[in-house]
Amino acid sequence: MHIMEGFLPPEWCIVWFVISIPVLVYGIYKLTKITKKVPEAKPLLALMGAFIFVISALKLPSVVGSSSHPTGTGLAAVFFGPAVAGVLSLIVLVFQALLLAHGGLTTLGANVFSMGIAGPAVGFAIWMIFKRAKLSPSVGIFTSVALSDLVTYVVTSIQLALAYPSEGSVLAAFTKFAAIYAVTQIPIAIAEGIVAVLIFSFLAKHKGNILSLLKVIKSPVSNVDKEVN
């Protein structure tokens, strides 16, 4: 979800920038490390960046001053970790703000935190649970990506509630924002989860060597649900 340009008070714009910067610095370090250790992963990084750009540009009107859309960052977090997903989201959000007037530069810190840090962190944690429990990768991908998307809207609701409490109550404002988001975001999250499973299955079948080098799967396989980590 993108909070639009000029919608957040300046003090909250600064707060979310300050919170996001350390994660992005670490993400740049991780990104550099991955590209040096697994140079074959560079095309996949580019693919994930393009995927995030395209899918998150498919916006629907939602809460005043914001929009609902898929995020794409959950799948990137599974492949490269949440910090790298944050860096990819930063790049995407800057281009969308400049080229599509989608989101904004003043709200960049808030949008990066919700879409590129909080959502991917939860999605990655869920993926690791499925992986260590040796459960179905396809179910793990769906659950991780769908919940990553939903957590993004929960965090966005919190951000808006903190900036604009309803009659002085942050909880009341959060409930209002989250309820409005849920109408569009729940079906969007389900659809994004399904798309992510299809992409993951295709890559596991045709680019399994790269995913194995990234330790996403153990080895290239023709049927991803036969491969559990």
- The reported pLDDT for the residue numbered 1 is 63
Domain residue limits at 37: 2-226
Concatenating the DSSP letter of every residue in 154-174 gives: HHHHHHHHHHS-BTTBHHHHH
- The reported pLDDT for the residue numbered 33 is 95
Percent of the chain with pLDDT over 70: 91
Contact 118, 157 (CB under 8 A): no
Banded pLDDT at 226 (limits 50, 70, 90): very low
What is the average per-residue pLDDT within 119-144? Answer: 95
Average pLDDT of the chain, as a whole number: 89
Q: Which sign, positive or negative, has the C-alpha torsion 110, 114, 120, 125?
A: positive
Q: Over the stretch 44-65, which tens digit does the pLDDT of each residue have?
A: 999 999 999 999 888 766 655 5
- Tell me the CA end-to-end span of the chain in Å, nearest whole number: 32
pTM of the model: 0.88
Banded pLDDT at 227 (limits 50, 70, 90): very low
Q: Over the stretch 158-174, which tens digit does the pLDDT of each residue have?
A: 999 999 998 889 999 99
Higher pLDDT, 208 or 19: 19
Percent of the chain with pLDDT over 90: 71
CATH code of the domain in which 17 resides: 1.10.1760.20
- The reported pLDDT for the residue numbered 185 is 87
Query: In this model, does residue 224 exceed pLDDT 60?
Result: no
Banded pLDDT at 68 (limits 50, 70, 90): confident
What is the average per-residue pLDDT within 176-198? Answer: 90
3-class state of residue 3 by DSSP: strand
C-alpha distances (whole Å) from 8 to each of 15, 123, 216 are 11, 26, 37
- The reported pLDDT for the residue numbered 166 is 86
- The reported pLDDT for the residue numbered 61 is 62
Banded pLDDT at 221 (limits 50, 70, 90): low
What is the average per-residue pLDDT within 15-36? Answer: 96
What is the average per-residue pLDDT within 1-27? Answer: 91
Higher pLDDT, 66 or 124: 124
Contact 155, 113 (CB under 8 A): yes
Number of domains the chain contains: 1
Percent of the chain as helix, strand, coil, to the nearest 5: 75, 5, 20
